[in-house]
Amino acid sequence: MVPAIFGCSGTKLTAEERAFFRDADPAGYILFGRNCENAEQLRALTDELRALHGREHLLISIDQEGGRVARLRPPHWAAYPSGEAFDRLYQVAPASAIEAARVGAKAMGLELSAMGITVDYHPPLDLRQEGAHDVIGDRSLGADPMQVAAIGRAILDGLADGGVTGCIKHMPGHGRALCDSHKEMPTVQASAEELASDLEPFHKLNGALIGMTGHLKFPIWDEALPATLSKAIISDIIRGDIGFDGLLLTDDIDMEALDGSVPERSSQAIAAGCDIVLNCWAKMGDMVGICERVPTISDRAAERLAKALEGTRVADTLAEDASELLAKRDALLAKRDALLAIAGEAA
Q: Which of 63, 87, 222, 251 is catalytic?
A: 251
**Beta strands 247-252 and 210-213, pairing class:** parallel
Rounded-to-integer distance, Cα 78 and Cα 61, Å? 18
Rounded-to-integer distance, Cα 28 and Cα 301, Å? 13
Q: Which of 182, 259, 321, 337 is catalytic?
A: 182
Rounded-to-integer distance, Cα 342 and Cα 336, Å? 10
User: Catalytic: 53?
Assistant: no
Sequence-separated (6 or more) residues with CB below 8 Å from residue 344? none
Instruction: Indicate left, alpha or beta for 287 from its phi (over 0: left) and psi (-120 to 50: alpha).
Output: alpha
Rounded-to-integer distance, Cα 328 and Cα 334, Å? 10
Q: How many Cβ atoms are within 10 Å of 3's Cβ, its own excluded? A: 23
Rounded-to-integer distance, Cα 155 and Cα 102, Å? 5
User: Catalytic: 251?
Assistant: yes
Catalytic residue numbers read 182, 251
